[in-house]
Structures are given as structure tokens and as C-alpha cells.
A and B are shown apart, each in its own frame.
Chain A
């Protein structure tokens, strides 16, 4: 009946689109509401209250940018940012590199592949708290790795990263890599299995070496897999908290503090919500600054192409 004349057809089509798949839309309402209220709503609330002088309880006592002034004047925050940058850069590069290398090794049709895959993936089944404690003990100079090697007779062996302010972040990095590389390896392995055998045959016919084939042909083909890994690793880096609490408690001194720990401690231990909110807003900003150009390149570019 909408075929008869044009104007009514347009007005009838619009509600039509809205009510298409009506059950699916109703079913997704809870998720949409959750996303709006929990994510958008709470984020807006947090940002709003970061401009107040709230202490233990949120209060609308406006102080402008005071909390941010104080934040960027605080040594501990600056140290936290630097630490996260070191950890983030190393963790990102090494996790991708090691994950890909391990996956490529497993992909060479070795024996006991599934056994190795389980071994490498196993640390991922442990929480960060357990990982942190285990590595705190392993790296403890008095009864960990250092004392074991010394008992073997190598008396001068020194490996004590956690008690030296300059190396403590690398001690954390070892634990983080141990825990996280297995998952990235599995994702990479799945990606490698998705590469058609014909590609390998063609490369062989053209006389391209194995490593060169990986670097020049296979890695560019695995772009979506790398993007997924990148997002997973980046999310893990930003929320780095429990590993630090379990392994070093932020010490020695402030040398392994991270931003998430600053937020938690100022919100609850120092009972200064405003300061904690300001710090968490800065964390959000840093994520947004990285995310928006990437999303633009990733999604905006595809539309044009």
C-alpha cells in the first residue's frame, strides 16, 4: 500500500526502519542503558567531581583546576607517568616480538606443539596477584634466583632488580611478560594458521627465504591480528595495578609507582576523592589521545578506501 504515492511512502518507511528487528532492539536496551549510565554517565560524573574539593565524600565545592595543578606538581604522579611509559614501551614491543617468535616457532610443525602451547599459555591462567607474588619470591636475593645460582658455586652472581630503584620496573616487566606473552602467542598462532598454504608454496617457488617470507609477506597479511594484540596489550598496560601492588607495593620508595595506584591511593587512603578523580581523568585523556587518531586511521581510512 505504500507503493501508491511517494510522500506517504517516505513517512511510512522511517518508523519502519526504527521498528525493524524490534525484538532485537528491545533485547539490547539493557546493554545500551548500562553502557550509557555506567560508562558514559560515571565518566562524566568523575570528570565533573574532579573540579571539586571533595575529600572522603563527594561534595560540590568547586575549586576549578586546583586538583590538576596539584597533580602535575606532585613528584609521585610524574614518577608514575614515567614508569608507565617505560613499562608500556618495553611491554608493547617485547610482548609482540616474543609472542610472534614463539608462535612462528610453534607454527614450524614441531613435535609436542600442543604441550608447548599449554606451557606457554599457562601463566595467563594465573592472576596478576599470584604472578606478582611468585616473581617477588623468585627475584628475592635471599631465597630466590640469586641465592640458587650462588649455591651452585657462582658466588659473585648478583641479580636483585626489585630492590634497586633504577631496575625495579624491569623486574615488573619480567613478570608482566611471563604472564602476558602466552595469550598473544596463541592469538598470533591462530593468525598464522589463517595464512593459506599456497602463499608459502608461492614464496618457495619464488625462492624467498623463510624469515623473509615471515617479515615481508606474512606479517603484513596478519595486520588485523596485530591490531587485536595491540589493543589487548595496551589495555593491560594502562590498568597496570595489581601486579605492582603484589610484587613491589610501589617500592623501593616511589620507584615503581604507576598512575592507577596513585588514583586508588588518593581516593581511598588519602581520602581525597577530588585528587583521585583528577588523576583518573588524566588517565582517560591519555587513552583518548592515543585512541582517537588510531580509530580515525583504522575506521575513517577504510570508508574512504
Chain B
């Protein structure tokens, strides 16, 4: 490893001798599906265009696989130049241990305080008044994606909210279509649970549990209704044997399944398959009932480096990632919302326009990455994995969930 590093450094030194300030930065991320890879290449192209070199460190698997690798590399003294993480509390302890670069001067120079919308995004990058990450996009999880082909095949109209979808499920099944595609992984089931909660229980109950961590709300009647709705939904997803989210999305694209509850990153898969919103598929934010979105997303963190040249390049890259042109091209490819409200996104399609509208109206919630620690989230995901794929009763699941909320941090 150190040999590779040395040869890289030598290589960098050689290029330095010829061009003025070409620096090679290794950037790790877990954007590996078709749509995601297309999006990250926009960053790489923009960075390479400045005369520097983007060394792509894609880590296959979802964040759950990639994050431990990234964190152990930072802790183990072999830091990359920049890395994707979800903003929120994932990097909290790394910041406290002084392992991440303070970007406050870049942020002040770029006026991030004024341009980042919603400002909560920047707050989640901030610890003790200093900014440690660049938010690059906003992802929201509360979407349902509907396949027009599946509904045409069954001779039905495409539903406009969750209740209509549930009502249409029997006829879909009769037409040989799986109503709900669901990747059998805890985080996906957790997302579906969260989306159904906002749709069924409403915002106040959601905030009571997710923000105030009030276990009595989680034991209350609103949440009983949620768990019963999930029991109904898991019957609709029986027979969905895929694991990865993009395979589940593919079932919707090909019309094998009627719908999928998944974050707006699913949009990228539809785009890669050259499907058109409103013709081939529909999207309903907040499952068509409560049109609010959470503001999770991706951010880039820059581990502290001894080499002043690399540190300067890191800051340059940080400023580039949030610059208007890069924001537009990246977010159009990824299907996510930009982190700044002052750019022209008119070329975005219908789903993104819906999302932008909700953002502009201020219908935003903090994401679970921001409200819960990774530990609590893992426990909730474990419970959801057990609940969705087994035959756990709604009452038992609710009791376990309330216990988790009680000890959550």
C-alpha cells in the first residue's frame, strides 16, 4: 500500500514539475449503480477540467458496506483526499477527533451560509461553529414510483396516492403483477416504513418520534395505524425476492411490479432506462398524501492531510463541488435536488420539479441520518428487516419499536 502511495506521490511530483499545480486527489464514494456512476463522472470531469486529476475510488455495495471501509481508512492513517458520506451524525466522532479538515474559510469565501437551501443542510455539516463538509445534493426518501406499463396491463388507472395504490393491489395481483417491489434489505424496508409513517400518521406524530424521540407517541394510536398499514404493505411485497434497490427499481421499470417505495435516487435508474416521467412512470412525493420531503443527502468530507499542496487542492475541490454549473449537471444526472436555491433547474423533469416545489415551499424534514445516531438507525433497520420479511405482528413490532425510541440517541 505504502509503495503504491509512494509511486503515486512520485507521479504527482513529476506532473508538478511539468504543469503548475496538478494534484491527484483520491475520492471515495459508493455511487456505483448506472445512474449514480453517470452523476459522479460529472464531478470527475469538472475536476479534471481544472487540470487536476480525479482518482476514482468507488466502493461497491451500499453505504453500509462502504462507510466502514472509509472510516477505517481515515482512522488507520491512510486517508483519501475526499470522501462521500451522508451528512448528519456519521462523521461526528471523526470531527471531534480532529481527523477532518475545517472548511470554514472556504465556506465564508463562497458565502455558503447564504446560498445553501435549506440552511439545515449546512447546520448538519457544522460542529462548534466550524464547517466540515460540503453538501452536494438533497435526497429525500418519501417517494413512491409507479409503473404505467403494469397498470395498463391490468387495465387500471395509475393511482394518485397511497390509498388508491393499496386499493388497486388486488387487481394488479390478478393480472399477474407484483404490487410492491421491495429489496430485502433493512435500510430499504426502513425507508418504506418512514414514508408510510409520514403518509399515514402525519407530520406531528412523525416529528414526535423522530425529532423529540417520544416513546409514548410511538406507542400511540397513530403509530398503531402505521404498523397495520405496513403489515398490509408487506403482503403486497410478498414474492419480491431481490436484494438490491436498483433491482427492485428495475422490476418497476420493466412492469413486473406495480410500484416501489424508494428515495429519489431511483430517478437515475429510470433516466438510464430512458423512461419518461408521466408517460412510462409516475412519482408521488410523500406517497401522494403528505407532500413533505426529508433533507438527507450526500456530502463530501476532506480528511486532514499533512501535505499543504493536497490541503489546498482539497479546498479547491470543495469550492468546485458546490459551484452552480457542477451542481446543475451533477443533480440532473443523479436525480437529486441541488443544495442551492439560486440556480436554474428548469431542464429538470417533472419529478424533480415536484421536489423543487416542495423545497421552495419549505416542506422539509430532517433526515434520519441527522436525527438518529448510526447505532439507533441500525437497530431500527434490524427491526424492520425482521418485521417486513417475517410474520411478526403489528403489535409486537410497535412495542419493539417504541422500546428502541425510548433508548434512542
Using CB atoms and an 8 Å cutoff, list the residues of chain A in contact with chain B.
55-57, 74-76, 141-142, 163, 165, 249-255, 264-272, 275
Contact = CB atoms under 8 A, between A and B. Distances in A.
Given A76-B382, A254-B386, A269-B374, A56 B185 contact: no
A194 B320 CA distance: 71
B75 A272 contact: no
Contacts of A265: 64, 378
Q: Which of A56, A252, A275 has the most CB of B within 10 A?
A: A56
Contact of A252 (B97, B378, B389): B389
Nearest to B187: A269
Contacts of B389: 165, 251-253, 255
Interface stretch (B36-44, B66-74, B106-114, B362-370): B66-74
Nearest to B93: A56
Interface string B368-389: 0000011101110011011111
B14 interface: no
Given A75-B400, A141-B241, A249-B185, A270 B390 contact: no
Contacts of B379: 74, 270
Contacts of A264: 68
B272 interface: no
Given A55-B93, A271-B90, A253 B390 contact: yes
Contact of B378 (A142, A253, A270): A270
A230 B200 CA distance: 55
Given A55-B375, A269-B67, A251 B93 contact: no
A270 B374 contact: yes
Given A57-B97, A251-B389, A253-B184, A268 B375 contact: no
B127 interface: no
Contacts of B343: none
B276 to A, nearest CB: 28
Given A55-B375, A57-B97, A271-B90, A251 B71 contact: no
A165 B64 CA distance: 23
B94 interface: yes
B275 interface: no
Given A269-B68, A270-B374, A57 B185 contact: no
Consensus secondary structure, chain A interface: loop
B75 A252 contact: no
Interface in B50-67: 64, 67
B382 A254 contact: yes
B243 interface: yes
Contacts of B388: 253
Contacts of B68: 264, 267-269
Contacts of B400: 75
Counting from the closest, the 10 A-B pairs by CB-CB distance are A268-B68, A253-B389, A270-B378, A56-B93, A252-B389, A272-B375, A271-B374, A270-B375, A251-B184, A253-B385
Given A75-B400, A165-B390, A254-B386, A268 B378 contact: no
Given A249-B184, A253-B388, A269-B67, 9 more contacts: A55-B375, A56-B71, A57-B93, A252-B184, A252-B389, A254-B390, A271-B90, A271-B374, A272-B375
Nearest to A160: B241
A275 B373 CA distance: 14
Given A56-B93, A165-B390, A254-B385, A269 B185 contact: no
A56 B375 CA distance: 10
A76 B390 CA distance: 13
A23 to B, nearest CB: 32
Contacts of A275: 375
Contacts of A255: 389-390
A249 B375 CA distance: 19
23 contacts: A55-B373, A55-B375, A74-B379, A75-B386, A75-B400, A76-B386, A141-B241, A165-B389, A250-B385, A252-B184, A253-B184, A253-B385, A253-B389, A254-B390, A255-B389, A264-B68, A265-B64, A266-B378, A268-B68, A268-B72, A269-B68, A270-B377, A271-B375
Nearest to A75: B386
Contacts of B241: 141-142, 163
Interface in B239-286: 241, 243
A106 to B, nearest CB: 39
Contacts of B97: 57
A268 to B, nearest CB: 3
A122 B64 CA distance: 33
A128 B71 CA distance: 25
A271 B409 CA distance: 13
A260 B245 CA distance: 25
A269 B378 contact: yes
Contact of B243 (A57, A165, A251, A269): A251
Contacts of B375: 55, 266, 270-272, 275
A268 B390 contact: no
Contacts of B385: 250-251, 253-254
A255 B373 CA distance: 25
B301 to A, nearest CB: 14
Contacts of B90: 271
A100 B217 CA distance: 60
Contacts of B72: 268
A280 to B, nearest CB: 15
Nearest to B403: A73
B3 to A, nearest CB: 23
B386 A56 contact: no
Interface string B386-408: 11111000000000100000000
Contacts of B378: 265-266, 269-270, 272
Q: Which of A75, A142, A251 has the most CB of B within 10 A?
A: A251
B380 to A, nearest CB: 11
A265 B383 CA distance: 14
Contacts of B185: 249, 251
A169 to B, nearest CB: 14
Nearest to A266: B378
Contacts of A76: 382, 386
A268 B67 contact: yes
A140 B68 CA distance: 29
